[in-house]
Amino acid sequence: MEINTKQSLIGIFLLGAMAMTSGCGGEFSYKRGASATDFQQEKQRCEKVADSATEQDKCLQDKGWLVVGPDKPLIPLSRGESKTIAVADKALAPEAGKPVDPLEKLTVNSWWRVGAGPEKLLADSADCNASLGEGHAPEANLSIVTRGLLACMQDKGWAVLLQQN
């Protein structure tokens, strides 16, 4: 029986995917601008002051880390007293039957789009800003945007994690 290289690679990929989804080392940590070393240092500090895994996670969250794993869901994730992170729905969809304000400011924790990097993010946001007008100019390195700019970016294929108060 002959096995070709493509079939071997697909098999290796599937085994790796199964291992990751079964909880083998499946924890993921993220903080904008931080490295894996930064996470390890922060985790060590939190381990010194926390008595349980739950307290360690809360300590990391309070320091701005998003920690996700098989037993730690992404949504909702407490980030302080009254803030949670949520994946944005359609930005201009009416809420409770009322229209939304396209100039409302939203705080963004993270942008992503498959196959796109920071250059594409900046180019797409500049394009959206040009079509929407100056009232929709993003602030703080695309960390604060209007609902209208978010809708335009969603139309371009971008997804976002929002911080909600």
- Does the global pTM surpass 0.85? no
Domain edges within the chain: 28-73, 87-164
- Provide the phi-psi class of 64: left if phi over 0, else alpha when psi is between -120 and 50, else beta: left
User: What pLDDT is recorded for position 113?
Assistant: 84
pLDDT over 80 (residue 2)? no
Q: What is the residue type of 135?
A: G
User: What pLDDT is recorded for position 22?
Assistant: 46
pLDDT digits (tens, 9 = 90+) for 26-56: 566 777 777 888 888 988 999 999 888 888 8
Q: Which residues of 82-101 are buried (b: 16+ CB within 10 A; e: fewer)?
A: eeebeebeebbeeeeeeeee
DSSP 138: -
pLDDT digits (tens, 9 = 90+) for 75-121: 443 333 334 445 566 666 777 777 788 898 988 888 888 888 889 99
pLDDT digits (tens, 9 = 90+) for 51-72: 888 888 888 888 888 776 655 5
Q: What percent helix, strand, coil does the chain show, rounded to 5?
A: 40, 20, 40
User: What pLDDT is recorded for position 123?
Assistant: 94
